[in-house]
């Protein structure tokens, strides 16, 4: 309704549109009972984020966007709400508004050490941001942003944010051309963008920054992960030598490079990685993350050193809690477990792993195809109240489905929620339907049959319809329900 009002009334009936905006502003922003602190009760925000934004992405015009920007300009409380509408819109007005709003936060918190622009971190941070899910601007929006960052003189925050938005959508060729004569004051942002795109011509500039150390709050060493680490082997060794030197002289070592070095050594697992960690082991063994790298590299020499080290560990369960980070499990920027030797290295220690770690490795094995090792070493160790156990034990899965159907407002929503989560975790549609069919065979009631029907309507194929024919014959589904699923499946399979 809000999108219909904006698209139909903008520039036509401003008075009625103003009344709609007033009603929008009056929507609750928190749970009236005070029970929900998650932010999901902010109806005013979510109407914008989940409803209005989608419509505006399809119908983006100056006529529909201008009233929203005016609303933000005249009502401070609506600025973030309007930003939620416009942040994904490929239009010059939306792009400029996004840059100005983020810059406004910059200006408000400037000089306050305990304040941070989390919105900017979400959109622009190199690691751990949602950068890849944001809009990619096309010619008109890019031209508007470029005009702003080239011509703005006295608003450094706004200029920088416009430049960052522009950088997210231009090609590597644009960046290389710009690097020949970087815009004054934006050199670091340009280099960060080139590193993000793995621009090999940025390596020499990155090495210069690394030699400088921390520069304007940026730790440049971490960005060598974006490139072939063989280009930086001398710097990796240099960092470890600096740690050794500091320990020898009684100075406090700088461990800032630890996470970068351990990630690289654990992922490379080559002669260089083995040699470097063994040569510096005496100075690294007391750090929490280097011992796990020995297991990742998984050569006879590293495993022998680790076995001797583990004998001296006091709290052996606590010791392994961060093992998943060393192996790169559930980290999309790292390869994770790639070799059976990395799993075999864990066998002597499995009894010390907590349930969460067992499930992490179990999931990694499923994803990477190490099914035989997983079945032999992990299935029996899964916690019976955990999500993974339900993947291999029907009765546990059926009890969970009973609860799901009991708590959901509709069986259709239960099927959607249950299937979407598992498909996101790489469970195939075939596996889901087979399990739901076994659920019906076990429970033999109307709810379970309707659940199977809704699931087939969502993800099934025409061949799956015969499963429902049996439920109609058993009296668990009506002919009308069956025909509805037949129509849904045939319509979807025509697309």
Instruction: Report, as an integer, the average pLDDT of 113-138.
Output: 71
Instruction: Report, as an integer, the average pLDDT of 347-360.
Output: 96
Position 38 scores a pLDDT of 55
Kindly indicate the confidence band of residue 200, based on its pLDDT and cuts at 50, 70 and 90: very high
Mean pLDDT for all residues in the chain: 90
Kindly indicate the confidence band of residue 493, based on its pLDDT and cuts at 50, 70 and 90: confident
Kindly indicate the confidence band of residue 257, based on its pLDDT and cuts at 50, 70 and 90: very high
Give tens-digit pLDDT for 269-326: 999 999 999 999 999 999 989 999 999 999 999 999 999 999 999 999 999 999 999 9
Give tens-digit pLDDT for 405-464: 988 778 988 898 888 878 776 678 898 999 999 999 999 999 999 999 999 999 999 999
* 13-17, 112-116, 306-310: the lowest-pLDDT one: 112-116
Q: Does the predicted model carry a pTM greater than 0.75?
A: yes
Three-state helix/strand/coil letters over the chain: CHHHHHHHHCCCCHHHHHHHHHHHHCCCCCCCCCCCCCCCCCHHHHHHHHHHHHHHHHCCCHHHHHHHHHHHHHCHHHHHHHHHHHCCCCCHHHHHHHHHHHHHHHHHHCCCCCCCCHHHHHHHCCCCCCHHHCCCCCHHHHHHHHHHHHHCCCCHHHHHHHHHHHHCCCCHHHHHHHHCCCCCCCHHHHHHHHHHCCCHHHHHHHHHHHHHCCECCECHHHHHHHCCHHHHHHHHHHHHHHHHHHHHHCCCCCCCCHHHHHHHHHHHCCHHHHHHHHHCHHHHCCCCCHHHHHHHHCCHHHHHHHHHHHHCCCCHHHHCCCHHHHHCCCCCCCCCCCCHHHHHCCHHHHHHCCHHHHHHHHHHHHHHCCHHHHHHHCHHHCCCCCCCHHHHCHHHHHHHHHHHHHHCCCHHHHHHHHHHHHHHCCCCHHHHHHHHHHHHHHHCCHHHHHHHHHHHHHHCCHHHHHHHHHHHHCCCCCHHHHHHHHHHHHHHHHC
Position 119 scores a pLDDT of 76
Give tens-digit pLDDT for 22-44: 888 888 887 766 665 655 678 88
């Amino acid at each position: 309704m809000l999108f219909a009002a904006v698209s139909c009334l903008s520039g036509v009936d401003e008075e009625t549109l103003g009344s709609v905006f007033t009603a929008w502003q009056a929507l609750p922003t928190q749970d009236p009972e005070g029970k929900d602190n998650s932010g999901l009760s902010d109806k005013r925000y979510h109407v914008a984020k989940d409803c209005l934004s989608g419509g505006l992405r399809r119908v983006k015009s100056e006529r529909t966007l201008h009233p929203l920007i005016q609303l933000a300009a005249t009502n401070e409380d609506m600025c973030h709400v309007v930003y939620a509408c416009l942040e994904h819109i490929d239009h010059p007005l939306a792009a400029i508004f996004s840059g100005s709003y983020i810059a406004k936060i910059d200006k408000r918190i400037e000089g306050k050490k305990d304040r941070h622009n989390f919105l900017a971190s979400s959109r622009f941070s190199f690691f751990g941001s949602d950068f890849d899910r944001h809009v990619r601007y096309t010619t008109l929006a890019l031209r508007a942003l470029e005009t702003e960052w080239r011509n703005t003189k006295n608003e450094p925050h706004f200029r920088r944010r416009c430049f960052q938005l522009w950088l997210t959508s231009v090609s590597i060729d644009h960046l290389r051309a710009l690097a020949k004569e970087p815009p004054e004051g934006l050199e670091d942002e340009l280099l960060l963008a080139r590193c993000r795109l793995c621009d090999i011509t940025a390596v020499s500039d990155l090495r210069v920054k690394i030699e400088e150390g921390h520069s304007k709050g940026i730790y440049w060493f971490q960005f060598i992960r974006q490139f072939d680490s063989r280009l930086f082997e001398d710097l990796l060794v240099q960092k470890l030598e600096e740690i050794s030197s500091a320990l020898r002289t009684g100075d406090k070592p700088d461990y800032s490079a630890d996470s970068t070095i351990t990630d690289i050594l654990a992922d490379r697992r080559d002669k260089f990685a083995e040699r470097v960690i063994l040569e510096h082991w005496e100075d690294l063994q007391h750090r929490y993350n280097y011992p796990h790298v020995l297991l990742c590299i998984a050569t006879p020499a590293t495993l022998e050193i680790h076995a001797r080290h583990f004998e001296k560990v006091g709290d052996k369960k606590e010791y392994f809690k961060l093992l998943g980070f060393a192996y790169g499990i559930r980290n999309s920027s790292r390869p994770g477990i790639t070799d059976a030797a990395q799993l075999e290295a864990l066998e002597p220690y499995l009894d010390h792993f907590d349930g969460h770690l067992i499930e992490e490795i179990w999931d990694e094995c499923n994803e990477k195809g190490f099914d035989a090792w997983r079945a032999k070493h992990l299935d029996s160790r899964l916690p019976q109240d955990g999500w993974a156990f339900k993947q291999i034990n029907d009765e546990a899965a059926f009890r969970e489905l009973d609860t799901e159907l009991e708590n959901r407002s509709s069986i259709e929503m239960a099927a959607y929620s249950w299937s979407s989560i598992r498909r996101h975790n790489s469970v195939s549609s075939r596996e889901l339907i087979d399990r739901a069919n076994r659920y019906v065979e076990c429970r033999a009631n109307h709810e379970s049959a309707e659940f199977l029907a809704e699931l087939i309507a969502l993800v099934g194929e025409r061949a799956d319809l015969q499963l429902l024919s049996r439920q109609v014959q058993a009296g668990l589904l009506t002919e009308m329900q069956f025909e509805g699923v037949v129509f849904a499946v045939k319509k979807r399979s025509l697309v």
